[in-house]
Amino acid sequence: VRILIVEDEPKTADYLAGGLAESGYAVTVARDGRSAQHCFESALFDLVLLDVMLPGMDGWEVLRVIRRRASTPVLFLSARDSVQDRVKGLELGGDDYLIKPFSYAELLARVRSLLRRGPVQCQDVLRLGDLEMVVGRFEVRRAGRLIRLTAKEFVLLRLLLERQGEVLTRTMIASHVWLMNFDCDTNVVDVAIRRLRMKIDEPYPDRLIHTVRGMGYRLALCE
């Protein structure tokens, strides 16, 4: 599970990062709004902890950027404790709002609750055209025909289905499917995509997995 912490105060950021890492989460820290935007556009995260008062782009604007791309759960962490601020954060698309100072135990409980809830798009059944994935049964069919996938192929295809229509870079795919960053020269993602295409695309007239030259891959009904 990957968590992005957006916090400009070094001691708070280090405290959060250390605690969450000890709790078993992979953590990335961004010190300002622009850095947060770059992190979110270059990697995939399961949860964002977002301060409101940030240098440059504030937390409200960071949330708008996130919501244009995904429904990743966002937990606001802020000293701004007015009802108006809390309502604004939730109405803009935040999932929870925790007022500073807070106990780590409460933060961890809210993190776990949001992760159990997951993003909106993580449905039990994912579809694109005649391709269907039943997540709970580890089952994939195209045109009604059962397709057998390895565990990694299933995770890769689920990612593509959940983010269908979006261009996913090799780094984003590697960080989500293998839970680590690979050297940009490695072809592990390309090999995995090639194997998935052999099962998902090649037996059928319409291709769904498209290469976006110089960027990555996209799952869509047409190029």
Residues 158 and 90 in one domain: no
Residue 184 has a pLDDT of 52
Residue 151 to residue 70: CA distance in whole angstroms:
24
Q: Output the six-digit token pair for 85.
A: 């601020």
Residues 113 and 158 in one domain: no
Residues 10 and 80 in one domain: yes
In sequence order, which residues have a C-beta less than 8 Å from that of residue 150 and are 6 or more positions away? none
CATH number for position 30: 3.40.50.2300
Q: How many domains does the chain have?
A: 2
Output the CA–CA distances (angstroms, integers) from residue 197 to 84, 95, 165, 193, 219, in the order listed. Answer: 50, 36, 17, 6, 11
Residues 51 and 6 in one domain: yes
CATH number for position 198: 1.10.10.10
* Dihedral angle of Cα 88, 92, 96, 97, to the nearest 10 degrees: -30
Residues 73 and 176 in one domain: no
Residues 20 and 111 in one domain: yes
Residue 183 has a pLDDT of 56
What is the reported pTM? Answer: 0.59
Per residue in 184-202, pLDDT (tens digit) is 556 889 999 999 999 999 9
Residues 104 and 204 in one domain: no
Residue 125 to residue 96: CA distance in whole angstroms:
26
DSSP per-residue letters across 191-223: HHHHHHHHHHTTTSSS--EEEETTTEEEE-S--
Q: Which residues of the chain have pLDDT under 70?
A: 118-123, 179-186, 223
Residues 129 and 212 in one domain: yes
Residue 178 has a pLDDT of 77
Task: Tell me which of 100, 117, 134 is where a domain ends.
Answer: 117
Between strands 168-169 and 145-147, the pairing is unpaired
Task: Tell me which of 89, 117, 145 is where a domain ends.
Answer: 117
Residues 129 and 84 in one domain: no
Residue 212 has a pLDDT of 92
Residue 185 has a pLDDT of 52
Domain range enclosing 132? 125-219
Residues 84 and 135 in one domain: no
Task: Tell me which of 53, 86, 117 is where a domain ends.
Answer: 117
Per residue in 124-169, pLDDT (tens digit) is 789 999 999 987 778 899 998 999 999 889 989 999 998 999 999 8
Residues 111 and 11 in one domain: yes
Neighbouring C-alpha atoms within 13 Å toward the C-beta of 38: 8
Residues 201 and 151 in one domain: yes
